[in-house]
Amino acid sequence: MRVAVAGAGLGGLCLAQGLTRAGVDVQVFERDDALHGRRQGYRLHVDARAGLALEKCLPPRLFGLFLATTGRPGTKVTVLNKRLAVLHETPTGPARDPDDPATLSASADRGILREILAAGLEERTHYGHELAGFEQDPEGVTLGFADGSTGRADLLVGADGVGSAVRRGLLPEARQVDTGVRIIYGKTPLDDATRRLIPPALHSGFTAIVGGRVGLATGLVEFRHPPAGFAPEVRLSPVGDYLMWAVSARQDRLPLPAPADATALYAVACRAIRSWHPALRALLAAASVEETFLVRVRIARRVPAWKPSRVTLLGDAIHAMSPARGSGANTALMDAANLCEAMTGGGNPIAQIGAYEESMRGYGFAAVEASTQAEAATAHPFRQWLRDRAGRWA
């Protein structure tokens, strides 16, 4: 069986690892010219969905490397106001074993995770190959690339993210909507001086700071082991500890510059919190300005069941969601493991794909809904905070 995967993102690479491990001939076609061809984010919250999926798909040495390079788990999620008064704290539960994938709740660096996922797939991953379309026939699928070249496979998986070309061909009626929320992401590297700037509440894990109609989220990434050189056989970038921050608001509250380059976006983020606590302003002032980037939040509308075929989808390509709940990557990795199991479990592959799609639609769109609610809480944090208080008092 020859499987073609469009997209070398988190889900596509995870699937390719699992299929390779099972002895399936898989080729990955990626639009970008290189693994790090584009800024895509820094910190990811990974939970048991990611842990169990990666354990299933990665060879054991790479899975061990993934766990070893996660960040130290946080102890609570804290909501603060812009003067740093604590509004709400949610403990993350009893201390967990950071090496147990079934209870994983940690941060991971996206770039490092992608380097681990790409390790060993060098011969099978074709960068600079943008899939433009496909055609199915009874014997297989013909792939058409943007440069005019073609390819052939028995099955095609669209792991090509929110703007998926595979989804456009397979399910032209599927819709993504722009929620109107804009998020400016940035990164402040940690050294002795910047560590001293971090207010105590931000040390305990993920933090949401509410200020009128603007929100600031922060997450520390303190690696359990510095990634570079940890496993000499896999080249990992020399990423040090950092604080990820994200300034979010509806677009009318966060006027964006044109061009929205890193320097201009950084200035907008600093302006949005200019009257906030000096410690927060100091953390943004110490950021790596050139690493600032923008996310326009787009989410998928639920799609009714479709007839299974030789072409299927995973991750953001079918159920794109807001980053608000930290679920998109976890769900994409879970899809990859489930689809890998379906493709390698024996039986009629199209029937197996149908069973995967049926279950994926259930948990995938449930995750979209949960993240949409979380995003509403981010866009209207004070209203949500009041609602939570009312709920607790009720």
Ligand X SMILES: Cc1cc2nc3c(=O)[nH]c(=O)nc-3n(C[C@H](O)[C@H](O)[C@H](O)COP(=O)(O)OP(=O)(O)OC[C@H]3O[C@@H](n4cnc5c(N)ncnc54)[C@H](O)[C@@H]3O)c2cc1C
Report the interface residues with ligand X, using CB under 6 A: 6-12, 29-32, 41, 44-45, 130-131, 159-161, 163, 165, 185, 295, 315-317, 323, 326-330, 332
Distances (CA, A) of 157 to 4, 141, 266: 6, 11, 37
Residue reference for tokens 């197996």: 352
Classify residue 162 by its DSSP letter.
T
Instruction: Choose between 277 and 357: whose C-beta lies nearer to ligand X.
Output: 357
Tokens of 185: 């992401």
Instruction: Choose between 13 and 270: whose C-beta lies nearer to ligand X.
Output: 13
Rounded least distance, CB 38 to ligand X, Å: 7
Instruction: Choose between 101 and 323: whose C-beta lies nearer to ligand X.
Output: 323
Instruction: Choose between 213 and 298: whose C-beta lies nearer to ligand X.
Output: 298
Which one-letter amino acid corresponds to residue 241?
D
Rounded least distance, CB 347 to ligand X, Å: 26
Instruction: Choose between 191 and 290: whose C-beta lies nearer to ligand X.
Output: 290
Instruction: Choose between 5 and 277: whose C-beta lies nearer to ligand X.
Output: 5
Rounded least distance, CB 79 to ligand X, Å: 17
CA–CA gap between residue 97 and residue 224 (Å, rounded): 13
SS3 167: helix
Rounded least distance, CB 323 to ligand X, Å: 4
Rounded least distance, CB 179 to ligand X, Å: 13
Burial profile 221-253: b = 16 or more Cβ within 10 angstroms, e = fewer:
bebbeebbeebeebebeebebbbbbbbbbeeee
Instruction: Choose between 19 and 159: whose C-beta lies nearer to ligand X.
Output: 159
> Residue 153 — φ and ψ, nearest 5°?
-150, 165
CA–CA gap between residue 288 and residue 81 (Å, rounded): 25
From the centroid of its chain, how far is CA 214? Answer: 22
Instruction: Choose between 137 and 147: whose C-beta lies nearer to ligand X.
Output: 147
Q: Closest CB to ligand X belongs to which residue? A: 9
Rounded least distance, CB 293 to ligand X, Å: 8
Q: Which of 264, 274, 266, 275 is nearest to 245 (CA)?
A: 266
CA–CA gap between residue 179 and residue 275 (Å, rounded): 27
Residue reference for tokens 């990795």: 333
Tokens of 80: 């603060």
Burial of 337 (0-12, 13-18, 19+ CB in 10 A): buried
Instruction: Choose between 181 and 231: whose C-beta lies nearer to ligand X.
Output: 181
Contact 287, 245 (CB under 8 A): yes
Rounded least distance, CB 117 to ligand X, Å: 10
Rounded least distance, CB 348 to ligand X, Å: 26
Rounded least distance, CB 172 to ligand X, Å: 15
